[in-house]
Amino acid sequence: MSKKYIELPVKDWPNFEMSWDLTASAQHFSDDGISQDDFSLAYKEPLLIAWVKMHELDNALYGHSIRKKEEIWSIGCKDKVAKVIAYCVENKQMTPAHIQPHKSLNAITIIGGNHRLAVCRALELEIIPVLIERIYENDLKNIINVDRVEEAI
């Protein structure tokens, strides 16, 4: 099903919206394949949901996390991008990307969700949710404007 979307120009994508799964029980999906048990060991409490402007997040990304809208098919795994599109076309919910701010660099890296963010970027979404550890909330707010922060459902 998803293969038909590979290399398809954004203007030819079917209409769909990103629907977000903001539940704590789904957060392990944000780290691209980590099991619920391993996620729970790594993160003792649910991650926070921060709503941020996509362009501000993009401007603050560091190193391998940086991508441009026009690189939707040229960087990363084309199959993963196509799967995100197919998932959304089927009206399934996606877990937001997991990010980590780095105060010393005044920058942000993506822990998991590069392909989800690539699709958000291609759709030119203005505000998106991202997941962050509670200890990094203030660091994130010092790097980019945060619309709001919520507890997971």
pLDDT (tens digit per residue) in 54-85: 999 999 999 878 888 889 999 889 999 999 99
pTM, entire model: 0.93
Query: Residue 43 region, left (φ>0) first, then alpha (ψ -120 to 50), else beta?
Result: beta
Distance CA 17, CA 95 (A): 14
Mean pLDDT of 37-57: 94
Letter for the amino acid at 131?
Answer: L
Q: At what angle do helices 78-89 and 114-122 cross, to 10 degrees?
A: 70
Side chain identity, residue 82: A
Instruction: Give the β-pairing of 97-102 and 127-132.
Output: parallel
Query: In the chain, what are the domain boundaries?
Result: 2-6+17-150
Give the model's pLDDT for residue 100. Answer: 95
Q: How many CA atoms lie within 13 A of 71 on its CB side?
A: 11
The Cα–Cα gap between 139 and 102 comes to: 7
